[in-house]
Structure 1
Amino acid sequence: MKRPMKKILIWSSAALALIVVLSGSYVWYMYHSVEKTVAQMYEPPVKPVYVSRDPEVKSKVKTKVEEAAVQKLDNREPFNVLVLGVDQRPNDRGRSDTMIVLTVNPAKQSILMFNIPRDSRTEIIGRGSVDKINHAYAFGGVEMSLQTVENFLDYPIDYYIKVNMEGFARLIDLIGGVKVDNPFAFNYGGHEFKQGKLSLNGSEALLYSRMRFDDPKGDLGRNARQRAILQEVMKSAMNVSNVTRIQDLLNEVGDSVKTDITFEHMKKFVMEYRPAINRIDTVEIEGSGKKIGGIWYYIVTDAERTRIHNMIKDHMTTAIRT
């Protein structure tokens, strides 16, 4: 399987670069402009293929590795993406503030989306230690994050998208903001978020998605708000038609996003996969908080990890066509 989620995903940031390509009304030189932007976003795969402990998954991965990439795309096979929302700082790699996994299956006409709680206690692959899963990025960047997530889920990740969170806020401004339905009123970062339907600009959306300590559900409530914003970004990005706004959006994407999805694969995803997707299903990873050595962790049991693993496996299985 080819090695490789913003808070932006394939349909919002990466796929945004392909909207121009899909419209026959745009002139040829714009195609090359898009391709150049995607080239700035592209990073080559960073690690070997993960071999799952699940015999059934292991067998499928082996088969996919032996197939040509073009053949897999022509067959519209399911794929998954790890989205890393990263807070980068001067002279510091930063941490992955957000980790979202999406599995895309055109045969089932759906995307399965879930957050991995940032405080989940797990083995950090390549570090030889047990820590919060979001620390993997601080220790070893994208490569260590991918290896750690794959081990946590016992499932290989096909692609990744890394997004700078400040760039995410600017992108939301360029698409005209997002609308959310806030379940309860709260104050965070000097801003008041009232209960009910809200229209948020980029900086407000970033604050809205980050608050967790005043949320009755803690990190799970924060994750739900992140997914709500992500879905809004996805819908808005795919509806952009103004040429000037597209070029502005592309500039933001090029500066803020890194991915191992090639330009040719992006075109396939948008032209062959996107029309088949009509719903997004979300799920939460359940667990409980616990202090160990004076540090608070989110504990996910082996049984819960197996449940999530089986959900991914089921969603990545091509539906039988009648």
Structure 2
Amino acid sequence: MDTKRPKKKKRKWLRITLIVVLLLLIGVGIYIYSVWNSLNNAVETMQQPIERETSKRDKTLSLNNKEPFSILMLGVDERDGDKGRSDTMIVVTVNPEKKSAKLLSIPRDTRTEIIGHGTTDKINHAYAFGGVAMAMDTVENFLDIPIDYYMQINMEGFQDIVNAVGGVTVNNDLDFTYEGVHFKKGTLTLNGEDALKFSRMRYDDPRGDFGRQLRQRMIIEAVVKKGASLNSLTNFHNIFEALGKNIKTDITFDEMVDIQANYKSAANNIEQLTITGTGQTINKVWYLIVDASEKTKIQNTLKEHLNIK
């Protein structure tokens, strides 16, 4: 009789263990579904397809075949009294075969032809004149490469994204004060409001717009790093909500899934590119003039990365 009791006890604990495991699996399944559903809803909110009459890509891009692609990132500052020029323009090219990505910051004052407007002006005016489509067409013409996608970030609302991930940490290389906040050299932990101020200052930076571009990239990279951490998963709803409110893109949810699956190795090798030029005042307006040799060098670098002959 005594020999049966341990078996009953063992079966009882086995049932309890199975029930706990089942409940955990159900809980994890609900959590994963909740995350997936929240992300899907956020992407739908971000969705804003763009109609373009021309494109330098002569055939349909295939993400399933892991073809290299490009994205134009536009940081648009839409404060009161601002016309909404794209103060930040970053072209990202991604090549999964080379397992690399290249980020090119285009200075806002770069003088170039504004495609579709019939003028030569600062490149960031393209967005003010014709929105995302004109900005994409102008950058495509300037770099002589196809621009496949865009991602527009509302810089004023970007502070919501920073706050959603719990703030960001950056390594500041310039001691300065901007709008009442002192940013010392070294490691800084910033909330959303301070991160926005940190990324806006340029007039007290000896590097001018190049310095501001550097700080903007630092904030964006810090947000991506923080948002991808496991600790941020508990706050996924606020993160996705902030993204949905402040980012617009023509990348679909399915394309995002393909990019994550087929191109993630490229994130391990990110190269920062810059454009150099000389300042020149034309009709009382200051421009950055990029000479032909510098432009050709940048164009060839990006074409090679996109496998364009």
TM over 0.5: yes
Percent identity (aligned): 48
The 3 A distance-change label for structure 1 pair 262 and 188 is same
Secondary structure of 1:163's counterpart equals: strand
Contact 2:38 2:240 in 1 (8 A): no
Contact 1:290 1:298 in 2 (8 A): yes
Aligned to 1:48: 53
Question: CA offset at residue 28 of structure 1?
Answer: 2.9
Question: CA offset at residue 280 of structure 1?
Answer: 1.1
Aligned to 1:251: 241
Secondary structure of 1:74's counterpart equals: coil
1:76-115 maps to which residues of 2 (within 5 A)?
A: 76-89=66-79, 94-115=84-105
Contact 1:96 1:134 in 2 (8 A): yes
> How big is the alpha-carbon RMSD for the aligned residues of Structure 1 and Structure 2?
2.0
Q: 1:32 aligned to 2:32?
A: no
Separation in 2, partners of 1:31, 1:233: 20
Cα deviations by residue, 1:7-61 (Å, 9 ceiling, x for unpaired): xxxxxxxxxxxxxxxx96734354333222211111123213423xxxxxxxxx3
1:43-192 maps to which residues of 2 (within 5 A)?
A: 43-51=48-56, 61-62=57-58, 64-65=59-60, 72-89=62-79, 94-192=84-182
The 3 A distance-change label for structure 1 pair 212 and 276 is closer
Separation in 2, partners of 1:184, 1:89: 25
Q: 1:262 aligned to 2:262?
A: no
Separation in 2, partners of 1:179, 1:32: 29
Separation in 2, partners of 1:82, 1:29: 30
Q: Which runs of 5+ in 1 are unaligned?
A: 1-22, 52-60
Separation in 1, partners of 2:290, 2:82: 29
Aligned to 2:220: 230
Secondary structure of 1:282's counterpart equals: strand
Aligned to 1:308: 298
1:33 counterpart letter in structure 2 = S
Aligned residues: 281
Separation in 2, partners of 1:171, 1:27: 22
Separation in 2, partners of 1:218, 1:257: 26
Secondary structure of 1:127's counterpart equals: coil
Separation in 2, partners of 1:218, 1:89: 21
Q: Which runs of 5+ in 2 are unaligned?
A: 1-27
Contact 1:49 1:156 in 2 (8 A): no
Separation in 2, partners of 1:94, 1:209: 17
Separation in 2, partners of 1:274, 1:39: 22
Separation in 1, partners of 2:231, 2:98: 28
Cα deviations by residue, 1:89-114 (Å, 9 ceiling, x for unpaired): 46975111111111111111111002
The 3 A distance-change label for structure 1 pair 308 and 86 is same
Higher-Rg member (1/2): 2
Question: CA offset at residue 129 of structure 1?
Answer: 0.8
> Displaced runs of 4+ in structure 1, greater than 4 A?
89-93, 240-244
Secondary structure of 1:266's counterpart equals: helix
Separation in 2, partners of 1:195, 1:182: 5
Secondary structure of 2:307's counterpart equals: coil
Separation in 2, partners of 1:48, 1:91: 31
The 3 A distance-change label for structure 1 pair 141 and 93 is farther
Question: CA offset at residue 187 of structure 1?
Answer: 1.1
Aligned to 2:17: none
For normalisation by structure 1, the TM-score amounts to 0.81
2:143 counterpart letter in structure 1 = L
Separation in 2, partners of 1:170, 1:232: 14
Structure with the larger RCO, 1 or 2 (CA within 8 Å, 6+ apart): 1
Cα deviations by residue, 1:183-222 (Å, 9 ceiling, x for unpaired): 2211111111111221111121211111111111111122
Secondary structure of 1:225's counterpart equals: helix
1:204-215 maps to which residues of 2 (within 5 A)?
A: 204-215=194-205
